[in-house]
Amino acid sequence: MKILHIAAALAATLTTATLAASPSIAQAPASPERLVVSYADLDLSSRTGVATLNRRILTAVQTACGTPSDADPHGKNVINDCRHRTYSEAISQARGAIALARGNGPAVLAGR
């Protein structure tokens, strides 16, 4: 199945001090949210397919990490950090899928 699993890095950035300092962040889930981004319908050997996958990843990252509030600068920083870390992890997965689609994937050697 051609999917990417995106786990929000938000849970990793939250600490007890962060939760105590910002009540709005205290309502964030304790475990990371996981989203699935499918690319089975995309041709990742084309620019259009890669661009579509990038848009899907960005949308999933924004959904997983939440929407920042201008009223809570600390919470906004936490969410921005979550987005950057989660996007980096997701793009790492996507690069592997793109390399395989373009025939640049890792070589698998068979041995006896």
Question: Is residue 22 within a helix (H) or strand (E), and if so which, with residue range?
Answer: none
C-alpha span between 89 and 6 (Å, rounded): 8
**Domain boundaries defined on the chain:** 3-101
Greater confidence, 80 or 4? 80
What are the CA-CA distances from residue 35 to residues 7, 8, 47, 81 (Å)?
A: 7, 8, 24, 18
| Residue 108 pLDDT class (50, 70, 90 cuts) | low
Greater confidence, 46 or 30? 46
Residue 56 — φ and ψ, nearest 5°? -65, -40
| pLDDT at site 45 | 93
Q: How confident is the model over 47-71, as pLDDT tens digits?
A: 999 999 999 999 999 988 888 888 9
Mean pLDDT of 25-49: 75
